[in-house]
Amino acid sequence: MSYIEKFFKHFWMICKHKYWVFYFACKCGIPVRGFLHDFSKFHPTEFFESVKYYTGTKSPIVSCKEDKGYSLAWLHHKGHNPHHYEYWVDNLDKGGIPLLIPFKYCVEMTCDWLAAGKAYQGKEFSYESELKWWNNKKKELQHSMDSRIIEFFEFVFNDLAYNKNLTKKMLDYYYHIAISPREKYVDNSEYEYGHNVPSHVGKDEDYYLYHKD
C-alpha cells in the first residue's frame, strides 16, 4: 500500500470510529464527549506513526509495538484521553495502583468499546458478542482497573446482552450500585448480577464525588 493510500485510509478509519462513538454517545446522553472523542488521533505524534503502521486488518498501535516494542502514539493517546483506563493507573513502580474512574469517562469508555465492536464485527455486531469480549477482557484487568469499575462494566455488559438497551439511566444506575457501599445491596433484589460479591467496600461519598459532570 502506498503512503498516500495509508494516509487517507487511516484518516477514514478515525472518522468511522468517531462516527460510531458519537452514535453510542448520543444514546448515553453525552453527545459533546462523543463528538470530541479521540481528537488526539489527529495529533502528529499519533497520526503519522499510525499511518506508517496502517494495514487495515489490525490496530497500527499493536503493529508498532510488535515492531519496536513500544508505541509513542499509544503513550501520547492514553496520556491525553481519560476514557482509557490506563490513564488512571499510577505508581507503576509499586506494581500499579488503579484509581476510581469518574462516571463520564466510564460512559465514554463503554461507547469506545462498543464502537470498536462495530468496527471489527460490522453486521455481525451484537450485545451478546460484546459480553463475550468483555468476559475475556476482564481477566486482564485485575491490576489495571479498580474492582468497583470492573464491576460496573460487568453489570453494563450483562444488562446490554440481556435487555439490549443502552441508556444513560441504566449506566447511572449500575455506577451507583458498583461505587456505593457493598452491604447496602447484598441482600437487595435490585442487585441482579451480584453472584460474586466482591470484597471491596465502597464509600457512600465516592458516588457523589465521581459522578459530577
108 binds Zn ion (CB under 5 A): no
| Three-state DSSP state, 89 | strand
Between the CA atoms of 141, 176, 130 and 198, what dihedral angle is there, to the nearest 10 degrees?
Answer: 40
Cell triple for 101:
474512574
Residue number with CB closer to Zn ion (81 or 180): 81
81 binds Zn ion (CB under 5 A): yes
Q: Of 186-205, which residues contact Zn ion (CB under 5 A)?
A: none
71 binds Zn ion (CB under 5 A): no
Cell triple for 179:
461505587
Instruction: Give the one residue of 38, 108, 146, 151 binding Zn ion; rule: CB under 5 A.
Output: 38
How far is residue 123's CA from residue 128's CA, in Å, rounded to a whole number?
Answer: 13
Residue number with CB closer to Zn ion (50 or 81): 81
Residue number with CB closer to Zn ion (74 or 152): 74
Residue number with CB closer to Zn ion (59 or 147): 59
Please, which residues have CB within 8 angstroms of residue 147's CB and are 6 or more apart in sequence?
198, 199, 200
Give the binding range for Zn ion (CB under 5 A) out of 59-67, 80-88, 99-107, 113-121. 80-88
